[in-house]
Amino acid sequence: MGQDEETMRKGPWTEHEDFQLVFHVHMFGDRRWDFIANVSGLKRTGKSCRLRWVNYLNPGLKRGKLAPHEERLVLELHSKFGNRWSKIARKLPGRTDNEIKNYWRTHMRKKAQEKKRVASRSPSPSLSHCSSSSSVCTSQPIIDSMPMIETKERSFYDTGGVKMAPVMKGKSNYKNDNRKTDTNSRASNCSSDIQEGCYSMDEIWKDIGSLEDDDDSIKPVFDPYTEIAPSLTTWDNYVSSSWMMSGQDELSMTTFPITSQQFSSRL
């Protein structure tokens, strides 16, 4: 990799970075992450790009709480596969391994706490207790040595309704971005708009679509919604003809087909 480790950005992604990543995945497919990391001008590792895409930006992702049938499926599959999160995730379209892993940790911990509480209250040593609303009991230990912290009682399946916007959840997804200094852009108001889903990925995709309409020099090589990666031929043709790869390594923001200004004006 051409990028110096120390110049690599870490931490939360900004809207602009997301936009860049989405654009480049749209162009090149979701396979060659190191290439995308270099070409996009993002100071991120290929790994980081992949993770952001897989766990957050992929348009095929479902957002919000797991449906009851999904919860049951997770329980069933976990009893079958254990902590093979990616394997479990594959059975739940639109859900990521990270999401399921987090779900398992938080909800199983709750369930374990509840179990513990019930056990300590009831003199009965019965171990057949299952969470009141759960129809599935796992046959193996619930938690892998999870620390038990006594908390307020709450039902394991306390769904409480989905109150988050499709993409922007309760808290901002752009923790350390520079919108505070960019007072003119729509992004500058984003944090207050977040509850209303200020700028969802749908919108980003829409924008990318309209950009392509505007400028016929930018053509996707695959349809992100079909998740078909570009063929190698297309890829190579594209690379050799569209980008001036002579400088290699660094196709920086100057070659990014959308300028920062255009980007902010679209926000």
Question: CB of residue 71 vs DNA: minimum separation in angstroms?
Answer: 12
Question: Should residue 31 be labelled a site residue for DNA when binding is judged by CB under 7 A?
Answer: yes
Question: Should residue 72 be labelled a site residue for DNA when binding is judged by CB under 7 A?
Answer: no
Distance from the Cα of residue 28 to its chain's centroid:
19
Distance from the Cα of residue 196 to its chain's centroid:
19
Cβ-based nearer residue to DNA, 4 or 213: 4
Which of 87, 96, 90 is CA-nearest to residue 53?
A: 96
| Number of residues engaging DNA in binding (CB under 7 A) | 48
Distance CA 42, CA 98 (A): 23
Whether residue 32 contacts residue 242, with contact meaning beta carbons closer than 8 Å, is answered with no
Q: Which residues inside 188-207 make contact with DNA, applying CB under 7 A?
A: 191
Distance CA 39, CA 250 (A): 6
Question: Should residue 229 be labelled a site residue for DNA when binding is judged by CB under 7 A?
Answer: no
Question: Should residue 79 be labelled a site residue for DNA when binding is judged by CB under 7 A?
Answer: no
- The sign of the CA dihedral 259, 220, 25, 28 is negative
Among 60, 68, 86, 209, binds DNA (CB under 7 A): 86
* Residues forming the site for DNA (CB under 7 A): 1, 9-13, 31-35, 44, 46-48, 50-52, 55-56, 83-87, 97-99, 101-103, 105-107, 110, 113, 144, 149, 151-152, 169-173, 175-176, 191
